[in-house]
Amino acid sequence: MLRPCLRHCSRATLRSLSCPRCLPRDDLQLLQFNQKIPLPSFPPTRRLQTSSIDSQDPVPLRKQLKQDAKTVRARKRERREQEEASRQKWELTVGVEIHAQLNTETKLFSRAPTLPSELPNSNVALFDLAFPGSQPEFQAATLLPALRAAIALNCDIQPVSRFDRKHYFYQDQPAGYQITQYYEPFARNGYIDLFSYDGIAPEDRDRVRIGIKQVQLEQDTAKSQEYPPSTQLLDFNRVSHPLIEIITMPQIHTPATAAAFVRKVQSILQSCSAVTTGMELGGLRADINVSIRQRGDDSGAHQYGGIGGLGQRTEIKNLSSFKAVEDAIIAEKNRQIAVLESGGVIEGETRGWTIGSTETRKLRGKEGEVDYRYMPDPDVPPLLIGEDLVSKLANTLPTAPDALIDMLVGPGYGLPIEDAKPLVELEDGARLDYYQDVVDILRDVQDLDSKARASLGRVTGNWVLHELGGLLTKAGQPWDAERVTADSLAAIIDQLQRNRITGATAKQVLAMLFDGDRRPVMQLLEEENLILRPLSREEYIALAEAAIEQNPQMVEQIRSKKQLGKLGWFVGQMMRMGVKGRVEALKADEILRELILGS
């Protein structure tokens, strides 16, 4: 194949394969041998025209990697500076609408079950399919999880609420309208407090409160499955599944805080058993409203939720992960800023987002209230909620996640926030229950000294989350409180706190129990000869002297240059030289300092 060489051939001359000057000498000889062609000769003038790049020495790999890393850091810094400049000029405003499937046995207006089924169109009633003459029959039990959710979101429960019809024509809505609560929802005026540990943006500081305009009951739609190029199948099992729609005030101004809000709502709904699944299984979806205006400019013509002076909003539909929420907002914010800076106008639109994309895409023009033709549903009577029911549900709600975190980081347990938050969130609280069981067992031990007792919460958190959790992660297994019982883990921690076993031995015993050893902890320690039998001072000195004798140069470095970090290496040597499980690191370090430093 003939192609021109752009590095050395200034004339438009075609060379065979590539310019011979671009090849090493051995490759030139091989080329000459295989093709039986004479090598071209280059006049001195042409040789002097070789680019300066060719004359440079090759850059060492390590230096090149450092240069590449420096370039990446510079680009990231430039992007941050651009983002900060954009943030100073433009103000982002975000409103969130969350649709969550309620934890119910029946649908909202029929007795059809809500249990998932692999057989399409098997859990449906005539009303779900909008058969002529079928009537809605409100299922009172579906109200209970909705009320628990609204109370947990600090909402005011309305004694009287009503259902409305939201008209739109799409194949996933068989009746041509959706029954919802638009004018008079059952809950209003709630809020959620977000803290720094929830992952809010740094500019929101330590705490931000997001107002909830209303929470309303409504029907879910059918599930559609596309088979390109022209086939679309519908599964009506999901039609009329009870939903709550949580609508926020437009009070969010950063993508990270919006994602933190959705994550916090899911955690709250799961903690009060209002829902059974979250975003990861499709039980919760988010629509995001995004608008941009110049910072400090309140002359915008649009008003949402009673807040005026805002820019034209667009809505991004059906986001199904927390990362998608954040990424979609960033993409839409950048798009709107680019349109406005180029002199364009933002159109009210419904837009879509695909995971991994860098841009939102237009789906359709944004419908307004007039387009939906909201009207009271004549077939569903008003919903009356008694104060006694609200009080009873409020009094029986489980402890809120924020209150649990405050308890865990408080003096009773003393956990760092990095451990307290996952304990509350993992496995819907199952791991937290296990953790508290272990701590309670250890606190019942009467002869534990005060120092060990004070550290029980922190030490137990480390073993539950990191040691036992690490074994589960490595094995790819879900949480199972019976894999290592609370009594067994408490026994391991108790022996460790009493200095009867070393940390390495404790991890070994935990792994043995995790792998199926069902012997009681004390029996296992005795039979495997794992109980720590302390060495005498003379034995520690003998081990230390042996390690020092083998490494005199390192000893001199410690003495002359005060490289005390190398004492840890000697401790490791002593632990390897001694009987496994009998050398204690602190005592070994003490003896080494005495022999090497004279202290």
Q: What is the pLDDT of residues 392-447, one digit of tens each?
A: 999 999 999 999 999 999 998 999 999 999 999 888 789 999 999 999 999 988 67
Cα 358 to Cα 329: distance, rounded to the nearest angstrom: 10
243 and 109 assigned to the same domain: yes
User: Mean pLDDT across the chain, nearest whole number?
Assistant: 86
Burial of 39 from C-beta contacts in 10 A (0-12 / 13-18 / 19+): exposed
Cα 185 to Cα 385: distance, rounded to the nearest angstrom: 12
What pLDDT is stored for residue 27 in this prediction?
44
Q: State which of 53, 74, 96 marks the end of a domain.
A: 53
**Residue 68 falls inside a structural domain:** no
Of the pLDDT bands very low, low, confident and very high (cuts 50, 70, 90), residue 6 is: very low
3-state secondary structure of 426: helix
**Residue 191 falls inside a structural domain:** yes
Q: Sort strands 314-319 and 349-352 into parallel, antiparallel or unpaired.
A: parallel
Closest CA to 105 of 93, 118, 116, 94: 116
**Residue 393 falls inside a structural domain:** no
Residue 130 makes CB contacts below 8 A (sequence gap 6+) with: 174, 175, 176
Percentages helix, strand, coil for the chain (3-state, rounded to 5) are 45, 20, 35
What pLDDT is stored for residue 495 in this prediction?
92
516 and 543 assigned to the same domain: no
How much is the pTM? 0.75
What pLDDT is stored for residue 370 in this prediction?
66
Tokens at residue 231, please? 């086939």
Burial of 507 from C-beta contacts in 10 A (0-12 / 13-18 / 19+): middle
If you average pLDDT over residues 557-562, what whole number do you get? 83
Q: What is the pLDDT of residues 131-179, one digit of tens each?
A: 999 999 999 999 999 999 999 999 999 999 999 999 988 888 899 999 9
363 and 463 assigned to the same domain: no
**Residue 193 falls inside a structural domain:** yes
**Residue 381 falls inside a structural domain:** no
What pLDDT is stored for residue 80 in this prediction?
67
542 and 499 assigned to the same domain: no
356 and 220 assigned to the same domain: yes
47 and 125 assigned to the same domain: no
Least confident of 74-83, 190-199, 370-379: 74-83
347 and 428 assigned to the same domain: no
What pLDDT is stored for residue 391 in this prediction?
97
Tokens at residue 248, please? 């926020």
Q: State which of 527, 552, 585 marks the end of a domain.
A: 527
442 and 308 assigned to the same domain: no
Provide DSSP, 338-371: HHHHTT-----EEEE--TT-SS-EEEEEPP-HHH
Number of Cβ within a 10 Å radius of residue 299: 8
Of the pLDDT bands very low, low, confident and very high (cuts 50, 70, 90), residue 385 is: very high
What pLDDT is stored for residue 39 in this prediction?
45
**Residue 367 falls inside a structural domain:** yes
**Residue 176 falls inside a structural domain:** yes
Helices 537-550 & 567-577 angle (0-180, nearest 10): 110
Cα 184 to Cα 164: distance, rounded to the nearest angstrom: 9
Q: DSSP code of 60?
A: P
Structural domain boundaries, residue 410: 399-527
For 159, list phi and psi in degrees, rounded to 5: -65, -30
Tokens at residue 55, please? 């004359």
Instruction: Report how many domains make up the chain.
Output: 4
492 and 559 assigned to the same domain: no
Q: Give, in order, the Cα–Cα distances in Å from 376 to each of 126, 184, 379, 488.
A: 22, 10, 9, 60
Q: Give, in order, the Cα–Cα distances in Å from 520 to each of 484, 517, 530, 580, 585.
A: 11, 9, 13, 22, 27
232 and 103 assigned to the same domain: yes
176 and 266 assigned to the same domain: yes
198 and 259 assigned to the same domain: yes
Cα 372 to Cα 169: distance, rounded to the nearest angstrom: 10
Q: State which of 493, 527, 561 marks the end of a domain.
A: 527
**Residue 67 falls inside a structural domain:** no
Residue 316 makes CB contacts below 8 A (sequence gap 6+) with: 287, 288, 289, 290, 328, 329, 332, 351, 352, 353, 360
Tokens at residue 3, please? 């192609």
Q: DSSP code of 281?
A: G
